[in-house]
Chain A
């Protein structure tokens, strides 16, 4: 790292983060190391409590030797990357057809009322945030949700309530 970049990104490109990214970089031919961009962004996001900042994206661009805009493109294309703070538990409710027919709307209403925040906001205690997502691929279990990395199916407001209490 040149001294200038060191100063700029040194605190986010820590040794463990770099080591983790390097594992993914190793999966690709050296001249195509930017193929690791999605993993690198994910690692950065996890490290930062679930969301990305411009600085983190710039650090990825620098580390993988990509134009910054190319990283922004990836990070804004995929809905798994967040650009605003999220709760410790990011509750993603599927809004697509099967779930919608099976009452995902009710789940959303319930959550917003119960947690006192609207879509995209974080509860005051920082524990929860709610997000609408496209089909989770769990249509057989509609309505479905993903909380953190865990899938939950056949949800009702009551079941959801129980889950949230357990997480609390």
Chain B
């Protein structure tokens, strides 16, 4: 609030404090005085078009809309006087003139603002006897169902698109009696936050397509939980019906997601009951899969682990853990591994360059609180398709940008954002490094500082251009600035170099260095000790084990996979499957099973997804957010922490008799006191020159927004959206010209030993000699490295 002074106003005879720039409705809301409304929404601009909020104001000749009437000192407002009541009743009657009153067949019934307000403020009969308006619906895509005859033209959905999503797709077309809210042309709403218009719509005009007609609002139970698909940790409310997840809606948390939710977090639940769910433990016996009791399957698991360690040594066992596992699961996995002496344990599945891991923060963090992003003055994002990877963070950056911040990016593809980008640097994998070096040098020069000796070569090689200098200046001038390494930076083939340069850049420019990591619980994994070089709370391992890359480059005797599908979730799909198939034993603790998995596994243990277990995710601010299971475990599957506790007992792990996941968490918490304190820096990796253009074509990968994890990949409606359907590769027109390819041509993509057919789009946002490919999809589950050499062949 710009002005901190306050004065007094009176509402319904009660004296209340008000700030000069407030509207009457805000003071009333803060004090629990109810004023009916439809168009007003706390997070949206004021439209004052529905007139439902009319109140009486002393000395005003007629009722005034509370949402658009600024407070004045000494003002006296009556929300309940005969005049106010009459005005509200009249408005309500007007609003219902064209409303179909079809509540019995409307999905909103029981949680409808129109219904509630009509009950509270409307009359019993309408004086209107003429025919009503009917509106033909347009299909808005697989996520949002429409019944526009019910629309009361409050324009909340329109304002949401314009102001919050930054993508104006809905509008009011026509005029007067013929005004319609819609898209005018038939098109799927494409914002990755589109589901929020379901929540803001006060009537049943916009409802959730996947869950509609499946349950009534009053039949649902709700549990608070935490979204499991990105590092933001949006707060959610899971609505369940007959012990099944029926839908997911946002839970207000001003510090994280406010009242919004990304479509991925909202609709991914559809994947939970997919037919691939593994119902009972199974063991491969002489080439045959047989279902087994938990006891037998766990005993077999323990035996595999013990024998592998005893016969081949601890370093012949590898443990790969999804960054979406809960903190409790991770900590127990760490304890079991530690007990068996195994240090080949990792969660960094889409990473390939681990050489600077000793300098990595103990727990990767955004560096500022999520809410503080709104107040940044300059942000440089490195390797991030922010709107698709962390939609809520993108929303925060959009707010910052609207506040006047400079948002800048350094990427391997020119990704669309729904906010202005002040500067965009684009490069192939080595180009990105050189750009970053140039910005770093520009900052050092502005500071009259010498290049540190280990960076002198690469900096000398990269003369800053005007664009680098502009970025440097903006970062230096920022009172609050951030350099953020995104998911694609972390997957970069020379991530260590990016990290060294970004660290230097942030330090010299005096801004924070932040990370936006893959998965929901990467920070938790680091704190729990799911790393080959560090134990719980970042304690160094005396004898570091193999990282995910090493574990999957040559075959070990035995592997344990926790909650992942390696062909989608690892750096090199093809190689991973080959290695796992060659391994003697693979134990999968997994909610889903596929034929691929049956092909390499020999024990399958059904563990539950996050909706069926209690647990904790640590978000990118370092916030430990715990949740309870919302529904019972499917069939014979069990929460991961319980399975691991029993496994721990079978392996004679001491003090492993936890009664609850809270106990597990408390124990870990007692070790993790202050991870933010960090570690003394060790010598950083030597940085070589990137002065040779790559010889052949280079693959670039952005993990598809709905391909990030096993649940999302099975969420049917999300998979039907245009963005999920877009499985095309992208090359720029220069390369297309050279290869004589046109838009929509089919080409063969060759990588590793595979050759698959894909369609192509010409996109000049892709750097020269590069082929951009969506990752986490069926096609790419057959290819090799996420970044690296690739070949294209015309069909």
Question: Using a Cβ–Cβ cut-off of 8 Å, how many residues does chain A contribute to the interface with B?
Answer: 11
- One of A64-72, A87-95, A142-150, A154-162 at the interface: A64-72
Q: Which of B175, B183, B764 contacts A69 (CB 8 A)?
A: B183
B170 at the A/B interface (Cβ < 8 Å)? yes
The answer to whether A73 touches B733 (Cβ under 8 A) is: no
A68 to B169, CA, bound (A): 8
Say whether, besides A2-B764, A3-B733, A69-B183, A76 and B173 are in contact (CB < 8 Å).
Answer: yes
B171 at the A/B interface (Cβ < 8 Å)? yes
* Residues of chain A within 8 A of B169, CB atoms compared: 67, 69
A73 to B155, CA, bound (A): 13
Interface string of A50-61 (1 = CB under 8 A from B): 000010000000
B168 at the A/B interface (Cβ < 8 Å)? yes
For window 39-87 of A, CB contacts with B under 8 Å fall at 54, 67-70, 72-73, 76-77
Distance of A56 from chain B, by nearest CB (Å): 13
Say whether, besides A2-B764, A67-B168, A54 and B185 are in contact (CB < 8 Å).
Answer: yes
For window 121-171 of B, CB contacts with A under 8 Å fall at 162, 167-171
Q: Which of B171, B174, B185, B733 contacts A70 (CB 8 A)?
A: B171
The answer to whether A76 touches B168 (Cβ under 8 A) is: no
* Residues of chain A within 8 A of B175, CB atoms compared: 76-77
Distance of B503 from chain A, by nearest CB (Å): 37
The answer to whether A69 touches B168 (Cβ under 8 A) is: yes
* Residues of chain B within 8 A of A54, CB atoms compared: 185
* Residues of chain B within 8 A of A68, CB atoms compared: 184-185
A54 to B187, CA, bound (A): 13
* Residues of chain A within 8 A of B174, CB atoms compared: 76-77
The answer to whether B733 touches A69 (Cβ under 8 A) is: no
Distance of A73 from chain B, by nearest CB (Å): 5
Question: Using a Cβ–Cβ cut-off of 8 Å, how many residues does chain B contribute to the interface with A?
Answer: 15
* Residues of chain A within 8 A of B184, CB atoms compared: 68-69, 72, 76
Interface string of B172-188 (1 = CB under 8 A from A): 11110000000111000
Distance of B163 from chain A, by nearest CB (Å): 12
A54 to B764, CA, bound (A): 26
A68 to B190, CA, bound (A): 14
* Residues of chain B within 8 A of A72, CB atoms compared: 171, 173, 184-185
A76 to B171, CA, bound (A): 11
Distance of B560 from chain A, by nearest CB (Å): 48
* Residues of chain B within 8 A of A70, CB atoms compared: 168, 171
A73 to B181, CA, bound (A): 10
* Residues of chain A within 8 A of B171, CB atoms compared: 67, 69-70, 72-73
Chain B residue with the shortest CB-CB distance to A69? B171
Interface string of A1-26 (1 = CB under 8 A from B): 01100000000000000000000000
* Residues of chain B within 8 A of A69, CB atoms compared: 168-171, 173, 183-184
Say whether, besides A54-B185, A67-B168, A73 and B173 are in contact (CB < 8 Å).
Answer: yes
Distance of B384 from chain A, by nearest CB (Å): 24
For window 133-153 of A, CB contacts with B under 8 Å fall at none
A68 to B168, CA, bound (A): 8
A73 to B168, CA, bound (A): 12
Distance of B48 from chain A, by nearest CB (Å): 19
Distance of B584 from chain A, by nearest CB (Å): 53
A63 to B172, CA, bound (A): 21
Chain B residue with the shortest CB-CB distance to A77? B175
A2 to B172, CA, bound (A): 29
For window 86-136 of A, CB contacts with B under 8 Å fall at none
A67 to B162, CA, bound (A): 9
* Residues of chain B within 8 A of A77, CB atoms compared: 173-175
Distance of B414 from chain A, by nearest CB (Å): 12
Chain A residue with the shortest CB-CB distance to B172? A73
A9 to B764, CA, bound (A): 18
A54 to B183, CA, bound (A): 12
Chain B residue with the shortest CB-CB distance to A73? B171
Chosen A-B contacts, 14 in total, with CB atoms closer than 8 Å, are A3-B733, A3-B764, A67-B162, A67-B171, A69-B170, A69-B173, A72-B171, A72-B184, A73-B172, A76-B173, A76-B174, A76-B175, A77-B173, A77-B175
Given contacts A54-B185, A68-B184, could you give 18 more A-B pairs where the C-beta distance is less than 8 Å?
Answer: A3-B733, A67-B162, A67-B167, A67-B169, A67-B171, A68-B185, A69-B168, A69-B169, A69-B170, A69-B171, A69-B173, A70-B168, A70-B171, A72-B185, A73-B171, A73-B173, A76-B175, A77-B174
Q: Which residues of A contact B (CB under 8 A)?
A: 2-3, 54, 67-70, 72-73, 76-77
Closest 10 CB pairs of A and B: A69-B171, A67-B168, A72-B184, A76-B173, A73-B171, A77-B175, A76-B174, A72-B173, A73-B173, A69-B168
